[in-house]
Amino acid sequence: MLRRTLLAASASTRLRTAITAAALTRNVVDRFVAGETTADAVAVTTRLLGEGLLASLDHLGEDTTEPEHAAAATQEYETLLGLLAAAGLSGGGTASPAEVSVKPTAVGLRLSPHGEKTATENIARICAAAQAAGATVTIDMEDCEAVEPTLRIAADLRAEFPWVGSVVQSYLRRSERDCAALAEAGARVRLCKGAYSAPADEAFTSARGVDGSYARCLRMLMSGPGYTMVATHDPRLIRIASAQAVRSGRGRGSFEFQMLYGVRPAEQRRLAEAGQRMRVYVPYGGDWYGYLMRRLAERPANLAFFLRALASRG
């Protein structure tokens, strides 16, 4: 119930204005967001790489309704990729220490009348910049409505950029079918639980259902020929992934763990120190509202942290 309320709040313009304007929110934002500027993102990436971690950078923003905003977001990714290359933080293609994650609705998917075409063209520009930087691009998965067009965009782009990564959300009932379709040689697939809400006929609604689906998808991906990106903080699923990797005879360079910036940082370091590839998803930029609300929805303790920060300044 609380999760649904917070996810609904993530789409409320009135709440967005009130919460974004409150300077007191800063403490909480800083925990999950790497900073506002491209320079902040590069500085945090440099630090994480120095700790033996990898990074996927996400320029915050979603549900863009103005073509100029979609163009500006695309330009931001191009600039970022140039800076990552200049700082020696990218290179090696699929083994690149830093890569980027892109939300199709941030680069035009919801623009009418040609949103899908605009998003495809903009992500293609980002892919070209990534290729020049020796980095990769993973296309984030958003709400249910975005799933089909996002998979089509990724499939289109893979013809020219075979390393473009896709995301499967295990809360969706369709996720095993999507894993089967994506399990091909060279395919990079990030498996996560899913941070949005969806109707019960399309999604598992219990934690057990979502976790069971995650484990089944994991088995399909790990035993297939592609590169698997295990995106979860869940200790049980991390154990299952490690065991599955051994069962599937996967070497350490053929899959990676992924976690969000600010979530279980000690576990991130532990996995990296144990020799695993551990990539941190690093969001940055001023448009953090929707992202922050999804993090609060995931964990009641985060909401308590948020409310305490508000009260302590009140």
Residues 117 to 176: which contact ligand FDA by CB under 6 A? 140-141, 167, 169
Cα distances (angstroms) measured from residue 252 to each of 61, 255, 292? 33, 6, 32
Q: Cα torsion for 13, 19, 23, 28, to the nearest 10°?
A: -120
Kindly state whether residue 62 participates in binding ligand FDA, applying the rule CB under 6 A: no
Contact between 281 and ligand FDA per CB under 6 A: yes
Active site residue 201: no
**211 included as an active-site residue:** no
If the CB atoms of residues 71 and 263 are measured against ligand FDA, the closer one turns out to be 263
Residue type, position 118, single letter: T
Q: How far apart are CA 272 and CA 268, in angstroms?
A: 6
**CB 109, min distance to ligand FDA, A:** 13
Q: Based on the shown chain and the rule CB under 6 A, indicate whether residue 198 belongs to the binding site for ligand FDA.
A: no
Cα-based torsion angle of the residue sequence 117, 122, 127, 128 in order, rounded to the nearest 10 degrees: 110
Tell me how far, at minimum, the Cβ of 40 lies from ligand FDA, in Å.
19
Hey, is 248 helix, strand or coil?
coil
Catalytic residue among 110, 158, 188, 190, which? 190
**Residue 10 contacts ligand FDA per CB under 6 A:** no
Beta strands in the chain (DSSP E): 54-59, 98-102, 137-139, 165-169, 188-192, 227-231, 255-260, 278-284
Q: Does 299 bind ligand FDA (CB under 6 A)?
A: yes
Residue 194 within binding range of ligand FDA, rule CB under 6 A: yes
Considering only the stretches 20-28, 34-42, 156-164, 260-268, report the one whose residues sit in contact with ligand FDA under the rule CB under 6 A. Answer: 260-268
Binder of ligand FDA out of 125, 173, 233, 250 (CB under 6 A): 233
Q: Which of 80/144 has CB closer to ligand FDA?
A: 144
Degrees (nearest 5) of the Cα angle 297, 141, 88?
100
Q: What are phi and psi of 96, to 5 degrees?
A: -60, 130
- 147: Cα within 13 Å, side-chain hemisphere: 19
The verdict on 295 binding ligand FDA (CB under 6 A) reads: yes
Piece in contact with ligand FDA (CB under 6 A), picked from 64-72, 109-117, 242-250, 298-306: 298-306
Strands 227-231, 255-260: pairing is parallel
Q: Is 192 in the site for ligand FDA (CB under 6 A)?
A: yes
* Active-site residue set: 140, 190
Q: Please give the residue ranges that form the binding site for ligand FDA (CB under 6 A).
A: 140-141, 167, 169, 192-196, 231-234, 258-260, 263-264, 281, 295, 298-299, 302
